[in-house]
């Protein structure tokens, strides 16, 4: 069986080829998207509400399928992947964390390893490793239920769960949007350090231009289902497109947040 890590080295981790998504008898959500995402980069999909960012993410893990064009994962069309196998190789973090409220933190994090039938001892060790990785002491958190966690802690567990089976690709859908500003800044900082260290391909959705500038290696701006442009953060600030200019102008002279590259 092929896996996500077996792809040819020359292949992009994710490649959109004129991909469109339209609702049955409805409007286009995404039209003619061409976008290459290289292995190991953190690509931020930036856009306002309703610009189609989340749809782009779901086209990657095949929660949605393109109505036209195709999406290639490790050089292979998403349509030819078994969706279950594909998703187990792609970490997924969503805004409200989506933790299972009836499971302990430990069981939540061990979800994908368990689905992949890892031995029990190995899962347990991995869960502990992941909890430490996201800054939660295992002995204090493993047995808790999600209802006993703060918003920031839930998101940390969400990230730990997504990384548990060591997927080469990580999708993050506005992971920090619901957090208070201080917690958000903490998590952004830690996330950026983590992303540098882990060398995963990360596709990160946000509507917050500061967050985009802070975590991205490249920023792709979406507007009404179309790709406006893809720039590295420094170039993004100077880009000419009016849609990008609007976002940059919203920074009201603040420029980059501290600790920017």
Chain positions contacting another protein, by CB under 8 A = 61, 63, 84-90, 92, 94-102, 111-112, 115, 161-162, 171
Q: How far is the CB of 226 from another protein (least distance, A)?
A: 25
Nearer Cβ to another protein (151/229): 151
Instruction: Give the residue with the Cβ less far from another protein, 88 or 218.
Output: 88
Give 22 or 145: the residue with its C-beta nearer to another protein. Answer: 145
Count Cβ atoms below 10 Å from residue 1 Cβ, excluding itself.
5
CB of 93 to another protein, least distance (A): 9
Closest CB 171 distance from another protein, rounded Å: 8
Rounded to a whole number of angstroms, the minimum distance from the CB of residue 28 to another protein is 22
Tell me how far, at minimum, the Cβ of 59 lies from another protein, in Å: 12
To another protein, the closest distance from the beta carbon of 253 in angstroms equals 36
Toward another protein, which CB reaches closer, 43 or 97? 97
Question: For residues 76 and 161, which CB has a smaller minimum distance to another protein in the complex?
Answer: 161
Our CB check for another protein shows the closer of 89 and 225 to be 89
């Amino acid at each position: 069986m092929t896996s996500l890590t077996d792809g040819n080295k020359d292949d992009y981790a994710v490649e959109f080829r004129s991909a469109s998504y339209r609702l049955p008898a409805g409007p286009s959500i995404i039209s003619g998207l061409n976008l290459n995402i290289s292995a190991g980069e953190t690509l931020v999909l930036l856009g306002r509400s309703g610009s189609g960012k989340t749809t782009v993410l779901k086209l990657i893990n095949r929660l949605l399928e393109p109505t036209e064009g195709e999406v290639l994962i490790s050089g292979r069309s998403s349509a030819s992947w078994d969706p279950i196998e594909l998703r187990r190789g792609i970490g997924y973090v969503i805004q409200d964390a989506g933790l299972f409220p009836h499971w302990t933190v430990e069981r939540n994090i061990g979800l994908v390893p368990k689905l992949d039938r890892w031995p029990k001892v190995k899962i347990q060790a991995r869960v502990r490793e992941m909890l430490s990785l996201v800054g939660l002491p295992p002995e204090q958190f493993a047995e808790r239920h999600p209802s006993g966690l703060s918003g920031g802690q839930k998101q940390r567990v969400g990230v730990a769960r997504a990384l548990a089976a060591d997927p080469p690709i990580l999708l993050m859908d506005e992971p920090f949007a619901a957090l208070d500003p201080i917690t958000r800044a903490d998590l952004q900082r830690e996330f950026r350090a983590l992303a540098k260290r882990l060398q995963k391909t990360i596709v990160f959705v946000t509507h917050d231009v500061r967050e985009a500038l802070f975590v991205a290696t490249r920023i792709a701006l979406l507007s009404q289902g179309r790709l406006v442009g893809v720039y590295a953060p420094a170039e993004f600030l100077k880009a000419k497109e009016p849609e990008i200019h609007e976002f940059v102008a919203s920074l009201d002279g603040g420029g980059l947040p501290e600790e920017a590259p």
